[in-house]
Structure 1
């Protein structure tokens, strides 16, 4: 079995972090990046520009399932029109997992400008009433979001605020934050959902594979 995992940005560090996050789920994940993509998917234009290349790459690939490893789920709906295999988005998977684990959840976003597009997706999933809030970092890069100690302090503060406002689960709103999940969960005492691992679990479930 082969699951192709595409990081829509060009960051090598983020791509390596995605592979590390999926490794405990098994060897079936092949993680690649869009070499000509931006270093971070920041803007609505980045999301729109990524959609067609991602759909084309997925349509031309030989795999049993696919993951779009970006919290904005660029090209997810388009890709699903091109192939019959399961295509899973990181935001979709993380939000669904959060709703399964808690009555209410919160999200830590990479930047404030990402929040409106995230909210549209959450509303489409029928989960907007379960969202306590989505709170942003200070527009850091996807790579720095998972590696910079100062960024972690900000992530922790946002997580504490969401927890104290009633979030029973915290979703990390960027694939670059994947490696923070275990540490943050220990510090907060509530479930913290890495969107990459959530996408891995969801695609395996849709492929009916025990993980």
Structure 2
């Protein structure tokens, strides 16, 4: 039986679910079936603790739906790893968080990693998660691009602002890997130019590979 990976989008934006699923399918090239589920009870994007709190009931229901429909592993499609600890203890299947997977991949790619996320409101949440993973000694910094999640597909201007944030981060932390700190950034990941001596980590790609590893 082919493994089945369910990407659970905690927010209500279908487009973002589709983008993450498309990226995941391309990354694993047929090694598993990848499906996406969207939390229509959640906010349009997850930006900070208040949004995370609003999405939880719907997200927990998505895990039940995924399991009932044959998923072998679930991926929480939000870099904040919303609800991850609770779901790991209750879901009845392996659960992978975008943030955790991205940061671990960043550690493999270089001795230190930095995160470029969307807005300043997301930085404390990500920092707390990195400390909880005991990866804070490996994290060189967390930087906001100033581009809201829902504007990441707005074209050249949003791409330029994210690229500028990545370039500044690479200049501040030479040799670090740079983790894209938002699931919505997967849409522009292949348009980003990696600065010299830096690797760009798309957490959607990292999470789907980790999902496969959890089943091996």
The count of residues paired between Structure 1 and Structure 2 equals 206
Match of 1:121 in 2: 129
Give SS of 2:114's match.
Answer: strand
Within 5 Å, which residues of 2 pair with 1:1-211? 1-24=3-26, 25=28, 26=30, 27-60=32-65, 61-62=67-68, 63-140=71-148, 142-166=149-173, 167-184=175-192, 186-189=193-196, 190-208=198-216
Distance 1:178 1:145 in 2: 9
Report the TM-score, using the length of structure 1 for normalisation. Answer: 0.91
Structure 2: how far apart are the matches of 1:179 and 1:138?
A: 17
The range that moved more, 198-207 or 77-86, is: 77-86
Residues 94, 168 of structure 1: CA spacing in aligned structure 2 closer, same or farther, 3 A cutoff? Answer: same
Q: Is the 8 A contact 2:56 2:83 kept in 1?
A: yes
| Kept after mapping to 2: 8 A contact 1:66/1:86 | yes
Residues in 2 aligned to 1:114 and 1:43: alpha-carbon distance in whole angstroms:
5
| Unaligned stretches of 5+ residues in structure 1 | none
State the 1:37 CA deviation. Answer: 1.4
Q: CA RMSD in A?
A: 1.6
**Stretches of structure 2 lacking an aligned partner (at least 5 in a row):** none
